[in-house]
Amino acid sequence: MKINNSSYNVYTPARSKIENQQKQYNDLSQQSITDIKPAAKFDTQANKVKMDDTNNIDPQLNSIKEKDALSRTSSDWEYLFKNDKRLAEITAKGNNNPGSLTAEEVDYEQKARGFVNTIANLNEDEKSLYNLAVSKGNSSAAEGISQIALIRMMGHEATTTNGEHYDPRTTEINEENISKLFINSINDNSGNSKNNFQALLALLKEQPTS
């Protein structure tokens, strides 16, 4: 799969291996993006977790969350999973019912685990649409929104397979933009990304017009 001439694994709630030191946690639901080229490096500040009141009283937990996933030691991961109660609850929910995490829960999990924070690229209305897809059990539509969030990680310029340039960060998620722009911004021979966008289009068509 390619986005803007760079290879990516689209964010999914599927399990992934980040580093050998994390193999003991492969039974936990993880998200990752790999094969990021230097030109597409991300602002590490975007991955910093916002500390809640519980985390603020644990300096060690805060220190761990300041690190990205690959910079953490085995003891860091052990301490995180043992002491971050909210992360433990989100992980258990995701394991027991894959595809059930809300945008807010995925956002927290991405930050707490030090992963690329794709959900930060969605506004409140888009997060609500993501949550609607989750509530309907429509994981494909939710994945379509996640794909758009990933495209936005590339910055303010994206190019479709038709050679059209646009700013994905300011482009609204609607039927026209999905059909014309977003669906043509990912080269995926498997057809999975296209199917996810089609599911998202179907979900949007179900919504009442204002």
Tens digit of pLDDT for each residue in 133-192? 999 999 999 999 999 999 999 899 999 998 999 999 999 999 999 999 999 999 888 999
Do residues 148 and 190 share a domain?
Answer: yes
User: Phi/psi at 162 (nearest 5 deg)?
Assistant: -90, 0
Do residues 164 and 100 share a domain?
Answer: no
- The two counts, helices (H) then strands (E), for the chain are 9, 5
What are the residues facing 7 on neighbouring strands?
A: 2
Predicted TM-score of the model (pTM):
0.75
Do residues 124 and 98 share a domain?
Answer: no
Contacts 24+ apart (CB under 8 A), 53-59: 54/85, 54/86, 55/84, 58/83
Exposure string of 97-127, with b = 16+ CB inside 10 Å and e = fewer, is: eebebbbebbbbbbbbbbbbbbbebbeeebb
Q: Can you give the residue range of the structural domain that contains 166?
A: 120-206
